[in-house]
Amino acid sequence: MKHIPNGKYKPYPKIDLPDRTWPDNTITKAPRWCSVDLRDGNQALINPMDMNKKLELFALLLKLGFKEIEVGFPSASKIEHDFLRKLVDDNLIPDDVTVQVLVQAREHLIAKTFKALRGVKKATVHLYNSTSIAQRKIVFSKTQEEIIQLALDGVDLVKKYEADHDGKIFLEYSPESFTGTELEFAARISNEVTARWGIADDRQVIINLPATVEMATPNIYADQVEWMSRHLDNRKNVIISTHTHNDRGTSIAATELALLAGADRVEGTLLSNGERTGNVDIITLALNMTTQGIESGLDFSDVNEVVEVVEKVTELPTHPRHPYVGELVYTAFSGSHQDAINKGLAYQQAKEDPFWEVPYLPIDPADVGRTYESIIRINSQSGKGGVAYILEKNYGYQLPKAMHPEIGRAVQALSDEKGRELEPEEILQVFKDTYFNINEHISFKDVSLTSDNGTSKCVLTYSYNGKEVTSEGEGNGPIDACKNALMKEYNHDFTIKSYSEHSCGDKSTAKAVAYIEIQSKEVLSCFGVGADNDITVASIKAMFCALNRAFS
């Protein structure tokens, strides 16, 4: 292992908050959501979005129900400016939506920002400056007082331009790199900012506490948020916002714990696009709430559409195991999972109350616009339940349970041989090869049936060891009659152990399918399958199939 010098990395200090309350809290309602896809997401892309892509993403965000959308950094570049102008000039911002713009505490940038905001009815101006120990020392070479002054100069400038703006301006302030900032300093600068802004009941301020870099375990972030919540002046008029990045892979947990700790608002992106490892994924957060019975306020009933648009505008692929939306997240390959899902879906369908109780599926795929079709896929890790599921869901065959082990083995033998996933058509082929048109030593030709006072009579024609035979029989039903006719010539004694049937296909193409299990001295159990337009003929075919399989 590569030697890492002692002291190169240090543990993040714990927060002194012995009476923390967040561990005992629960999330009971959704936060205010703010999408930063068009800003933090966009600034992290290899190819930042062009106008059309921005417009398409903006339309999607509106459709999903976002009421706060950070539309960019309008003073940064022409396209950022032009996009905001397009939204305003083409009247694309609904009245209930607040657009948000990011800007540094520099006069020429703030001036440009307000120019771009002309005509916006409601906007949040998001002012940020880094407050962390490292950035104060390395990037700004400024003391704490000088950094506070930088922020206050920014606030003064926003107020100056606000006065001339025809529309409502909200202030958001981010002590950027909050997770690298001493808490006392983060609270002090935030309180000076809100006071300078003139915080009041009708002049609330968003204080955003970014995990610009995720530096510690999520409980630390929760402690920091709860600590800030206790130390921010005029707390009732401060909206505490989170903005987590995913450097340690725990941005979801950090955000959820921060909500327990008192955060009111969440900034994030769809599918986690954003600087480095990305911003927190709002889809996951929202659907986590859905699975707890909490109304998220966002509409993710068609995640495929979201993935399609986000992949197009970001030019980034989605991981197949991405929570809730990945290609494979509603798919089970392994036998015991398939078995439990199969039983769970049947149980869910049969019961009256809506409480979702399907093992291994934390959410109903249908609630996010995913179908059941791909839930179970077959490879060498799969079991009989999965094979039965595919045959039923894709082709309508409802195999009796006792038949599952045999077809399961046949399919597994093929997947072992191929060493890859099997397509449903290949599974169907195994089923057909195993049970259909098996005419080894005996084959069915024709039957005519009559019924008299509860007694069935038949004339059965079949070929047996190459010779055509016609014989008559009687019984307490058509199959019994046919069996009795058969036994006049056939030299294997057998009994019928089980029988089931169903129709398969829609009205116009429906066929009857029958499954017959026979038993004899030599053979404990052997299944045959038959399909025909006529249910009786399907049953007789199934019996012949079973005989061929048992005695050939």
Ligand X SMILES: CC(C)C(=O)C(=O)O
Ligand Y SMILES: CC(=O)SCCNC(=O)CCNC(=O)[C@H](O)C(C)(C)COP(=O)(O)OP(=O)(O)OC[C@H]1O[C@@H](n2cnc3c(N)ncnc32)[C@H](O)[C@@H]1OP(=O)(O)O
Residues forming contacts to ligand Y in the complex (CB under 6 A) are 40, 43, 73, 76-77, 102, 104-106, 109, 128-129, 139-140, 150, 176, 212, 275
Q: Is 243 annotated as a binding residue?
A: yes
Q: How far is the CB of 155 from ligand Y (least distance, A)?
A: 12
Q: Which is nearer to ligand Y, 113 or 484 (CB)?
A: 113
Q: How far is the CB of 137 from ligand Y (least distance, A)?
A: 12
Q: Which does 208 bind (CB under 5 to 8 A by kind): ligand Y, ligand X, none?
A: ligand X
Single-letter amino acid, residue 325: V
Block residue for tokens 């709860």: 226
Cβ contacts of 283 within 8 Å, gap of 6 or more: 270, 271, 300, 303, 306, 323, 324, 325
Q: Which is nearer to ligand Y, 176 or 214 (CB)?
A: 176
Indicate whether 179 belongs to the interface with ligand X (CB under 6 A): no
Q: Which does 174 bind (CB under 5 to 8 A by kind): ligand Y, ligand X, none?
A: ligand X
Q: How far apart are CA 180 and CA 177, in angstroms?
A: 5
Residue ranges in 327-346 that form contacts with ligand X under rule CB under 6 A: none
Candidates 58, 128, 170, 397; binder of ligand X (CB under 6 A) is 128
Query: Which range in 193-201, 207-215, 220-228, 540-548 contacts ligand X by CB under 6 A?
Result: 207-215
Candidates 210, 268, 385, 478; binder of ligand X (CB under 6 A) is 210
Query: What value does the CA radius of gyration of the chain take, rounded to a whole number of Å?
Result: 34
Q: Is 245 annotated as a binding residue?
A: yes
Tell me the sheet residues that pair with 279: 245
Candidates 212, 224, 331, 536; binder of ligand X (CB under 6 A) is 212
For residue 382, give the 3-state DSSP assignment. Answer: coil
Candidates 80, 176, 501, 517; binder of ligand X (CB under 6 A) is 176
Number of residues that this document lists for the chain: 552
For residue 541, give the 3-state DSSP assignment. Answer: helix
For residue 325, give the 3-state DSSP assignment. Answer: coil
Residue ranges in 229-268 that form contacts with ligand X under rule CB under 6 A: 243, 245
Looking at beta carbons, which pairs linking 56-63 to residues 24 or more positions away fall under 8 Å? 56/309, 56/312, 56/313, 57/309, 57/310, 57/313, 58/87, 58/92, 60/305, 60/306, 60/309, 60/310, 61/35, 61/37, 62/94, 62/97, 63/299
Contacts with ligand X by CB under 6 A: the residue count is 10
Q: Which does 250 bind (CB under 5 to 8 A by kind): ligand Y, ligand X, none?
A: none
Q: How far is the CB of 128 from ligand X (least distance, A)?
A: 4
Query: Which range in 208-216, 292-300, 457-465, 532-540 contacts ligand X by CB under 6 A?
Result: 208-216
Q: Which does 43 bind (CB under 5 to 8 A by kind): ligand X, ligand Y, none?
A: ligand Y
Q: How far apart are CA 33 and CA 269, in angstroms?
A: 10
Block residue for tokens 């106008």: 51
Q: How far apart are CA 408 and CA 542, in angstroms?
A: 19
Q: How far is the CB of 342 from ligand X (least distance, A)?
A: 44
Indicate whether 269 belongs to the interface with ligand X (CB under 6 A): no
Indicate whether 162 belongs to the interface with ligand X (CB under 6 A): no
Q: How far is the CB of 178 from ligand Y (least distance, A)?
A: 10
Give whole-number Cα distances, 77 to 82, 108, 225, 315, 355, in Å.
9, 13, 33, 21, 50
- φ, ψ of residue 394 in degrees (nearest 5): -90, -30
Residue ranges in 8-47 that form contacts with ligand X under rule CB under 6 A: 40
Burial of 143 (C-beta count, 10 Å sphere; 0-12/13-18/19+): exposed
Q: How far apart are CA 326 and CA 323, in angstroms?
A: 6
Q: How far is the CB of 68 from ligand X (least distance, A)?
A: 13
Q: How far is the CB of 154 from ligand Y (least distance, A)?
A: 7
Q: Which does 316 bind (CB under 5 to 8 A by kind): ligand X, ligand Y, none?
A: none
Give whole-number Cα distances, 419 to 385, 414, 497, in Å.
20, 8, 36
Q: How far is the CB of 149 from ligand X (least distance, A)?
A: 19
Q: How far is the CB of 132 from ligand X (least distance, A)?
A: 10
Per the CB < 8 A criterion, the answer to whether 386 and 343 are in contact is no
Q: Which is nearer to ligand X, 43 or 336 (CB)?
A: 43
Give whole-number Cα distances, 5 to 2, 10, 12, in Å.
10, 11, 18
Q: Which is nearer to ligand Y, 205 or 537 (CB)?
A: 205
Q: Tell me the binding residues for Mg(2+).
A: 40, 243, 245, 279
Task: State the residues that interact with ligand X by CB under 6 A.
Answer: 40, 102, 128, 174, 176, 208, 210, 212, 243, 245
